[in-house]
Amino acid sequence: MPATPSAPRSLEEKLRACEERLNSIVQHTPNVSIQGYAPDGRILFWNKSSERVFGWRAEEAIGKRLEDLIFTKEEGAAFASMLRDIRQKKQAVGPIEFRFDRRNGQEGWCLSTIFEIPGDCEPNFICMDVDITERKTAEKALRASEELFSKAFSACPDVMSVSDLETGRYLEVNEVHERLFGYARHEVIGRSPEELGLLANPTDHGTFVHELRAHGRVRDYEVIARNRHGKQMIVLISAELVHLSGRVCVLRITKDITERKAAEECLRKAQADALLARQEFTQRLISAQEQERKRLASDLHDSLGQDLSLIKNRVHLALTKHDLPPAVVSHLEAVAKLADDTLNEVRNLSHHLRPLPIEEFGLTDSLENLVQEVAASSTIRFESRFEQIDDLFPGEQATMVYRIVQEALSNLVKHACATSATVTVERDLRCARLRIEDNGRGFHRSSVVGPRTVRTGIGLTSIEERVTMLGGNLDIRSGPGQGTVLEIEIPLSEAAGVLPAPKLAAL
């Protein structure tokens, strides 16, 4: 039979064993610093938690006073005075907060409860501390943060306010808020924007709160507000949900954009007026150009054309004489051919300058006919795709579009040395697009378009000027041996409606 441990042989042994167990518990209590003091403040007991919190080992602390370790002389004297008060009043004190200095010089805080042990036992007083340094540090940081926020809130040049999410009532406003709306702070606190009549449309607040609840924030919410005197203004509101003192609040920044909106409206009107003026100028310019073209066509046909015809006829009349030397006959035949070629060129110029058939046939058919004429007079194989654009441009603008395509085809025939080309006209709700592409020899774009726009002729200059007057964009893509792509985009002033089916042709 196993032996059982023997029981203590005396009351002293029982008491000693109990004291040892209690001392072990006190020494190893992990989160509570426990110290024992004599009536004069000398340290008689110092557990391991005290070593960890204050930085002093037990053998260094015992026998010393607190002002020698963690308190200043004044704080130590105050602590000794408190011990005397506890003995006189026969009651514990605490929990109370104490500030102390650790052995390494760092500041700390503890929450202490102090009580007296009756009788003649030593130590006479027990102090139980909980280290609250982290909490105090967090509280200090929070106070600093709140102070910083308060200063930023007051100094912000924009209107700022804090309100309760549930009731909508203001908790705080800054001075700018007072100036903008005309209400003093004490008149605003505890009241909502609806109660003050700050919103011209009360339903705006419900929409604003719905967005705020759904997303936690609102950015640049535009509303019409009113100040104390009923003056309306346009404001932008941005807000965030924040938690203050256990409740959900709204931190709101409001910007008065009334002047900005007025400036934007003035700018929009100025742009519209400038666009109208440009359109009117374009129409007058086109009209003047067409009148000049008509005059030049008439002069070429009636004056220069007639003179060339007379020269041609007189040369043929001279050739009827039979006694002319062979050299003279050769010269006269050369003059006749030159006159005939020049007359054909004048007729072509007159033809291109004469009034266009757009009003009779429409812009789309006129462009198709133009492509057909160019194809018939050259060896280039043309393919074309035309969408109906008759309703997109007023008469004089239609003339300008026609002249753009006419000039582009003329350049292509004269300079491209191409065997095939494609002409495309498209439309959508915002613009009309013209695209003319060939497989010709191409060119370095910098050689024809530069600071002076065009260096080798007036063809591209004429196209570019007309596109600019129509408010459009011109894009030229080319390279030696790579052909040329001419793309033009002309904006429309109104939606064009339903798009008719395109016309396809190959010439």
232, 224 Cβ separation under 8 angstroms: yes
- Which of 295-309, 334-348, 490-504 is predicted with the least confidence, judged by mean pLDDT? 490-504
CB atoms within 10 A of CB 50: 25
For the segment 171-185, the average pLDDT, to the nearest whole number, is: 91
450 pLDDT above the threshold of 60: no
- Is 11-132 a domain of CATH 3.30.70.1140? no
446 pLDDT above the threshold of 70: no
* Alpha helices (runs of H) in 28-170, residue ranges in sequence order: 48-54, 58-61, 73-89, 133-155
379 pLDDT above the threshold of 50: yes
pLDDT score of 333: 81
* Shared fold status for 156-256 and 359-506: no
Residue 317 CB burial class (10 angstroms; 0-12, 13-18, ≥19): exposed
If one looks up domain 156-256 in CATH, what number appears?
Answer: 3.30.450.20
End-to-end CA distance of the chain: 124
Chain segment 231-286, per-residue pLDDT in tens: 999 999 999 998 877 789 899 999 999 999 999 999 999 988 887 887 677 667 76
pLDDT over 90 percentage in the chain? 23
Residue 310, both tokens: 């007379």
For the segment 323-344, the average pLDDT, to the nearest whole number, is: 82
Q: What is the mean pLDDT of the chain?
A: 81
* Alpha helices (runs of H) in 184-325, residue ranges in sequence order: 185-188, 193-196, 203-215, 258-299, 305-318
How many Å apart are CA 29 and CA 48, to the nearest integer? 8
How many Å apart are CA 166 and CA 179, to the nearest integer? 26
For the segment 483-493, the average pLDDT, to the nearest whole number, is: 90
pLDDT score of 20: 67
pLDDT score of 439: 93
pLDDT score of 183: 93
Question: In terms of DSSP bridges, do strands 247-256 and 420-427 run parallel, antiparallel, or are they unpaired?
Answer: unpaired
pLDDT score of 111: 87
For the segment 470-480, the average pLDDT, to the nearest whole number, is: 89
pLDDT score of 114: 87
173 pLDDT above the threshold of 60: yes
Query: For 359-506, which CATH superfamily applies?
Result: Histidine kinase-like ATPase, C-terminal domain (3.30.565.10)
- Contacts of residue 209, defined as CB under 8 A and 6 or more positions apart, other chains included, come to 165, 168
Chain segment 386-435, per-residue pLDDT in tens: 999 988 887 778 888 888 998 899 889 888 899 999 999 999 888 999 99
- Residue located via tokens 């792509």: 485
How many Å apart are CA 116 and CA 127, to the nearest integer? 9
| Domain ranges across the chain | 11-132, 156-256, 281-355, 359-506
pLDDT score of 498: 38
- Contacts of residue 227, defined as CB under 8 A and 6 or more positions apart, other chains included, come to 180, 181, 182, 198, 233
Maximum mean pLDDT: which of 243-252, 282-291, 455-464: 243-252
Burial code (b: 16+ CB inside 10 Å, e: under 16) for 110-137 equals bbbebebeeeeeebbbbbbbbbbbeebe
How many Å apart are CA 109 and CA 91, to the nearest integer? 23
How many Å apart are CA 170 and CA 291, to the nearest integer? 72
- One-letter amino acid at 178 equals E
pLDDT score of 433: 93
Chain segment 416-427, per-residue pLDDT in tens: 899 999 999 999
Confidence band, pLDDT 50/70/90 cuts, at residue 437: very high
Residue 451, both tokens: 């600071």
In terms of pTM, does the model score above 0.95?
Answer: no
How many Å apart are CA 407 and CA 468, to the nearest integer? 15
Higher pLDDT among residues 465 and 175, named by residue: 175
